[in-house]
Amino acid sequence: MDQRLTEFIAACDKLAGGGQDAGANVAAIAPLMLELVRAGRSLLDPDHLREDPEQYARNAIHVGEADGVSLFALVWLPGQWTPIHDHGTWGVVGVLDGVLEERAFLPATGWDDADYYPLTPGGIVFLSPGSVSTFVPNPDHIHVTGVPEDREPVVSLHLYGRLMNSFHLYTPEHASRRLIDVPHYESS
């Protein structure tokens, strides 16, 4: 693994283990991610750049313990999108190649009922190479992310404040959500 990635992961583990809240973690880690993404794809090993023709590929770089940080390289081909989802944690995202699009959703009224999750569309962000985005749960960052058919592929780094092996999947037409497992490719 590239020394810059090793040092980044060690710094993030130390910061995240310091007992700070989510906002303090992203404020401390975002500048580190900004510096890291300036190196571009040279950071990544070939197994971090695997593609999947069916869906965006989540390539594990570092998978921490349940309460430790996890880092993934995501490879997005044109037309690939996540479902509408949340994370259950804080995170920092940096783009290495391409333009990643993020469409936010906001909780509408009615979240008092644990089985009713109406959403309303929020803003859109375009993340270009070298850009960094952060999120904290409040109640959580709900969005869909991807690459339209008419854009170039994207490679992005996603650091999460926990083992990112599941998230809530939202279905706006039913105002519902369910917890799903999220697979990833292991690194050698």
- 3-state SS of 111-147 is CCCCCCCCEEEEEEEEECCCCEEEECCCCCCEEEEEC
By percentage, how much of the chain surpasses pLDDT 90? 70
pTM, full prediction:
0.93
Only one residue has tokens 């995240």, namely 16
Name the residue with higher pLDDT: 79 or 184. Answer: 79
Domains of the chain: 3-181 (2.60.120.10)
pLDDT score of 187: 79
Please check the confidence at residue 186 and state whether its pLDDT lies above 70. Answer: yes
Buried b (16+ CB within 10 A) or exposed e, 118-153: bbeeeeeeebebebbbbbbeeebbbbbbbbeeebee
How many C-beta neighbours within 10 Å does residue 186 have?
Answer: 8
Only one residue has tokens 């023709």, namely 53
37 close to 132: Cβ distance less than 8 angstroms: yes
pLDDT score of 14: 93
Please check the confidence at residue 66 and state whether its pLDDT lies above 70. Answer: no
For the chain, what is the mean pLDDT? 92
User: For 98-125, how does the pLDDT look when each residue is reduced to its tens digit (9 = 90+)?
Assistant: 999 999 998 887 666 677 888 999 999 9
Query: Per-residue pLDDT averaged across 31-49, rounded?
Result: 96
Length of the chain: 188
Which is nearest to 160 in space by CA: 174, 144, 141?
141
Which is nearest to 184 in space by CA: 49, 44, 58?
58
pLDDT score of 110: 63
Which is nearest to 176 in space by CA: 126, 119, 136, 135?
119
pLDDT score of 113: 65
CA distance 39 to 37: 5
User: For 152-177, how does the pLDDT look when each residue is reduced to its tens digit (9 = 90+)?
Assistant: 999 999 999 988 888 888 998 888 88
pLDDT score of 68: 83
